[in-house]
Amino acid sequence: MNAYQDLVKRHEEIALLQACNALLSWDQETNLPAKGVAYRAQQRAALSEKVHELKTSEDVTRWLDACQDDSDGEASANAQWWRHAYERARKIPASMVGEFEEVTSLGLAAWQEAREKSDFALFQPHLQKIVDFNRQMADLWGYEESPYDALLEEYERGATAKNLAVLFADLKGPLVELVEAAIAKSADQPPRSLQGDYPIEAQQAFNLEVCQALGFDLDAGRIDTAAHPFCSRLAPNDTRLTTRYDLSDFTSSLFGVLHETGHGLYEQGLPQDKHALPSGTSISLGIHESQSRLWENQIGRSRAFWEHWLPVAQKHFPSLTDWTPEDVTRAVNQAERTFIRVEADEVTYDLHILLRFELEKQLIEGTLTVADLPEAWNASFKNLTNLTVPDHAHGCLQDIHWSMGALGYFPTYSLGNLNAAQLHAAALEQTPGLSDDLAQGNYASLLHWLQTNVHAHGSQLLPDELMTRATGRSTDKTPYLEHLRERYIH
Amino acid sequence: MNAYQDLVKRHEEIALLQACNALLSWDQETNLPAKGVAYRAQQRAALSEKVHELKTSEDVTRWLDACQDDSDGEASANAQWWRHAYERARKIPASMVGEFEEVTSLGLAAWQEAREKSDFALFQPHLQKIVDFNRQMADLWGYEESPYDALLEEYERGATAKNLAVLFADLKGPLVELVEAAIAKSADQPPRSLQGDYPIEAQQAFNLEVCQALGFDLDAGRIDTAAHPFCSRLAPNDTRLTTRYDLSDFTSSLFGVLHETGHGLYEQGLPQDKHALPSGTSISLGIHESQSRLWENQIGRSRAFWEHWLPVAQKHFPSLTDWTPEDVTRAVNQAERTFIRVEADEVTYDLHILLRFELEKQLIEGTLTVADLPEAWNASFKNLTNLTVPDHAHGCLQDIHWSMGALGYFPTYSLGNLNAAQLHAAALEQTPGLSDDLAQGNYASLLHWLQTNVHAHGSQLLPDELMTRATGRSTDKTPYLEHLRERYIH
């Protein structure tokens, strides 16, 4: 056996344990009885430890050195990927990994209490430790311009603080103007209210029909209920979506399903037989989010979608009888200034991200102290939206990410939005008759385009390469702004 | 660390992997998408292999030798249990374990086809191999009187062919008479039919209420749907029951839940913190089945049960409005001669077991050939029930057990029935006011008696010791026959 085959075998062993952990985690969100949580945590930690051992053993380094010059393109890309990942991993001492886990698990608990009581002081010392740890790790990983780059690398390979700052600065001006106009228009023409009585079984039946029509293979996946919707590929041919139900508004579970179906189609579109290898694994959060947002927003909130699906929805929900596709489209595209990111509409959403990106970059670069964060948040929010944050639960304490130690994660949400619009526009341009297909509820040609241009590559193309090959250019603001303008202004 | 502590640590590691495998298996029965089955099989096999390695490594033998004379009672009982189990395991060469897995997996597939086509010839060569393998293993394990003893040991430590033959011979005469009388009485007073319209949600709500009232902790367990009902403790404080639903008869899912709740109460009654040790694990199938049958039959089919629960059932199922507790009790205790074991009522059930015990014992002892099995089955069935088996699907091909390689398993069903009646009688004798409690739907004192006399012992008492301490004597026919007479004749 040559070194590359040794590496493949090792990663199949790793993938097998990770698949166990993925099931343990999925089950924890969907089924686990309350008293089973403590042992489950032990179980997951023990498997993670085994995975860590398998990844960091010396033979892996030896094998990687030995297959330096492999000629096969895919094998060489996989080896490069591992080399990059393990070099990074080796820079962080094991003791620090353990400490960081403790810091973030305490941080998470403190954040939960702090948010509940809207009391930043309870979270401040924990956030301080988390920021310090992230800064230390950035220094160990190394970077060229900003320590924030080293953190970004974890979620979006190739992205830098500098590039993102340019991209987002470019976006900000037109977006703020657009928000203004969209809100004025929404206020001018208030939509009908969708509030009603939607039994859970009817919602499930409708969601399932839509999910299947988009191309999700339910013989290789399923939909369950969870408090916080997510998508997880547990193993090859086993991709599971979750959603949650609001009995007074069917669109809550539906858009949850559309979003997670987007993630799920990406996971199902990856070569399943390579699930243990970089070439069979998704490339980045910004690309993953582009898939979920494309199906949720470009498709699911379009007029064409509702022209096709309203008659079906009416069969499941008799109270929609006198609604028109125009009514529903307007109801699900209402622009409004709100405090909470996860409740934001499509047009205001990125303002929440721009704010977080700026602040976390400053925290890591040392130009903002943790103590000054709440004030900076509130000032920045006022500046972006003209709203006054009423309390920290509606401000800097609203998101879970920092408490879990994740700095550098937020920008991938906006990258996802930009990429979604850009990929959608490219698919329309490159696929004759696609508009007509979509209008008829036929999604096969769009899915095929995404499979070919995004999914099939696994991690073989970095995000920027992938976007450039698929759309002819790097991620930029233009298609996204056009999309928002089209939807919210015209 | 001393040797015993090393053993405990190793078994905690083993238990952790087994808990992963238990979840993989539970999920396979309840959730797994069809296309995920192939990888799941690989995953389970890989974990089983790791468990096998951890159990059979040389340090385990060394540790066991070193803690020969441990003075602590529980530690010494655990060490003895492991010694016994591993000595047995080491007698079977690894190659044979692998071969047996292959033979039984082919056997299972062949049996499924054979049963479908009611064609014994398709299964015969596979059964031949399975019997030969079992015989070979019995020879390797060793035995004093019958090779069947060595197989029994796997499911019911301490049981022997000779003892069981005496016990069952003793039971047979009175049971055959009882069946005669019970069937005559049932035919004389035909019960009302429970067939009706029972929506699944109503069944689930009623079952949940009953299950909780019996004392099953739903914060440490749950109920799901599966084609073949089972109970599995996945991990400490995580015991899962399953049942299946017949929309025209609510008692199908209910008695499934009652049965599995009995198993579940045993699992929950074991000391959860010792889940990795023999002292925290159930002792045998015959004792396990006693717990499921006691709650299903002694309790769930009693008049007192329906006096209490019919009014509750009527709230969930309006069609029961004009039923009396007497009506329901008679409907769920109808005696009838049938061909299929799993559909048999309480009074005829053991005839099916006596037949299987006799035949599988002869197969292993070499006094019956596989080729002669169908004829022997049909003759024996005619002799016991006076019914003529119409085809092998209703005869010797009906059960899965042999195809999976399990010979020596069947008698534990009858042991379960006998033990259930004997434990129930002892609990009534030893617990003042228990009858009144049960009549009022208060099951706490019965559960407490079972927890103290059965569950708490884990595997520290062998089945015969456990029965003797709890009831004053070894398993015998008297309480069971009294119970059946009381229920079916009086």
Strands B221-225 and B238-243: parallel
Of A68-77, A295-304, B190-199, which gets the smallest average pLDDT?
A68-77
pLDDT 10s digits, B445-463: 999 999 999 999 999 999 9
A40 vs B contacts (CB less than 8 Å): 235, 238
Tell me: pLDDT of B69 over 70. no
Element containing residue A239 per DSSP (H, E): strand A238-243
Tell me: pLDDT of B73 over 90. no
pLDDT level of residue A6 (50, 70, 90 thresholds):
very high
- With b meaning 16 or more CB within 10 Å and e meaning fewer, what string describes A417-446? bbbbbbbbbbbbeeeeebeebbeeeebebb
At A302, the amino acid letter reads S
- pLDDT score, position B149: 98
pLDDT 10s digits, A83-139: 999 999 989 988 898 899 889 989 999 999 999 999 999 999 999 999 999 999 999
pLDDT 10s digits, B95-126: 898 899 889 989 999 999 999 999 999 999 99
Residues 6+ apart with CB under 8 A from B78: B4, B7, B8, B277, B278, B279
Average confidence (pLDDT) over B475-480: 97
Tell me: pLDDT of A452 over 90. yes
pLDDT level of residue A73 (50, 70, 90 thresholds):
confident
CA distance A147 to chain B (A): 39
Tell me: pLDDT of B192 over 90. yes
Coil/strand/helix, residue B222: strand
Q: Which two tokens stand for residue B66?
A: 């070193």
- pLDDT score, position A416: 98
CA distances to A434, B111, B437 from B107, in Å: 52, 6, 48
CA A202 to chain centre: 28
pLDDT 10s digits, A303-360: 999 999 999 999 999 999 999 999 999 999 999 999 999 999 999 999 999 999 999 9
Q: Is B201 on the interface with A (CB under 8 A)?
A: no
Tell me: pLDDT of B135 over 80. yes
Of A205-219, A252-266, B70-84, B159-173, which gets the smallest average pLDDT?
B70-84
CA distance A218 to chain B (A): 7
- Point out the residue among B35, B40, B235 whose CB comes nearest to the CB of A36: B235
Tell me: pLDDT of A1 over 70. no
Average confidence (pLDDT) over B211-222: 98
pLDDT level of residue B169 (50, 70, 90 thresholds):
very high
A35 vs B contacts (CB less than 8 Å): 217, 219-220, 237-238
Average confidence (pLDDT) over A276-302: 98
- pLDDT score, position B290: 98
Average confidence (pLDDT) over B157-182: 97
CA A144 to chain centre: 26
- pLDDT score, position B222: 97
Torsion of CA A390, A393, A399, A400, to 10 degrees: 170
Mean pLDDT rounded to a whole number for chain B: 96
Tell me: pLDDT of A68 over 80. no
Residues 6+ apart with CB under 8 A from B22: B232, B233, B234, B235
Residues 6+ apart with CB under 8 A from B402: B107, B111, B127, B130, B360
pLDDT 10s digits, B5-29: 999 999 999 999 999 999 999 999 9
Tell me: pLDDT of B1 over 70. no
Q: How far apart are CA A298 and CA B47, in angstroms?
A: 43
Q: By CA distance, what is A275's nearest residue in B?
A: B39
Tell me: pLDDT of A69 over 70. no
Sign of torsion over alpha carbons A137, A140, A143, A145: positive
Q: How far apart are CA A16 and CA B45, in angstroms?
A: 11
Q: By CA distance, what is B21's nearest residue in A?
A: A20
Q: By CA distance, what is A46's nearest residue in B?
A: B16
Q: How far apart are CA A267 and CA A244, in angstroms?
A: 21
CA distances to A115, A144, B84 from A98, in Å: 26, 27, 40
Q: How far apart are CA B135 and CA B361, in angstroms?
A: 11
Residue A232 has what DSSP assignment? E
Q: Is A280 on the interface with B (CB under 8 A)?
A: no
Q: Is B336 a catalytic residue?
A: no
Q: How far apart are CA A151 and CA A456, in angstroms?
A: 27
Tell me: pLDDT of A71 over 80. no
Q: By CA distance, what is A234's nearest residue in B?
A: B36
- pLDDT score, position B101: 87
- Point out the residue among B36, B221, B235 whose CB comes nearest to the CB of A238: B36
Q: Is B165 on the interface with A (CB under 8 A)?
A: no
CB B282 within 8 A of CB B270: yes
- pLDDT score, position A98: 84
**Which one has a higher pLDDT value, A57 or A72?**
A57
| ipTM of this complex prediction, to 2 decimal places | 0.92
Percent of chain B whose predicted confidence (pLDDT) is above 90 = 93
Unique residue bearing structure tokens 């006198």: A322
CB A458 within 8 A of CB A274: yes
- Point out the residue among B46, B221, B235 whose CB comes nearest to the CB of A40: B235
Average confidence (pLDDT) over A32-53: 92
Average confidence (pLDDT) over B246-251: 97
B218 vs A contacts (CB less than 8 Å): 33
Please name which of A383, A400, A390, A401 lies closest in space to residue A118, comparing C-alpha atoms.
A390
Average confidence (pLDDT) over B310-334: 97
- pLDDT score, position B68: 72
A297, β-bridge pairs = none
Please name which of A372, A326, A367 lies closest in space to residue A127, comparing C-alpha atoms.
A372
Mutation site for A-interface testing, chosen from B12, B31, B268 by largest number of A Cβ within 10 Å: B31
Q: How far apart are CA A29 and CA A224, in angstroms?
A: 10
pLDDT 10s digits, B375-418: 999 999 999 999 999 999 999 999 999 999 999 999 999 999 99
Q: Is B200 on the interface with A (CB under 8 A)?
A: no
Cβ neighbours around A375 below 10 Å, total: 12
Cβ neighbours around A118 below 10 Å, total: 14
Sign of torsion over alpha carbons A219, B203, A248, B218: negative
Unique residue bearing structure tokens 């241009």: A453
Please name which of A486, A476, A488 lies closest in space to residue A347, comparing C-alpha atoms.
A488
For B1, counting Cβ atoms within 10 Å of its Cβ (0-12 exposed, 13-18 middle, 19+ buried), the class is: exposed
CB pairs under 8 A between A and B: 87
Q: How far apart are CA A118 and CA A112, in angstroms?
A: 10
Please name which of A413, A292, A437, A279 lies closest in space to residue A353, comparing C-alpha atoms.
A413
For A347, counting Cβ atoms within 10 Å of its Cβ (0-12 exposed, 13-18 middle, 19+ buried), the class is: buried
Tell me: pLDDT of B289 over 70. yes
Q: Name residues 30-49 of chain A within 8 A of B (Cβ).
A: 31-36, 38-40, 42-43, 46-47
- pLDDT score, position B287: 98
Q: Which two tokens stand for residue B465?
A: 């010791």
Q: Which of A156, A260, A296, A346 is catalytic?
A: A260
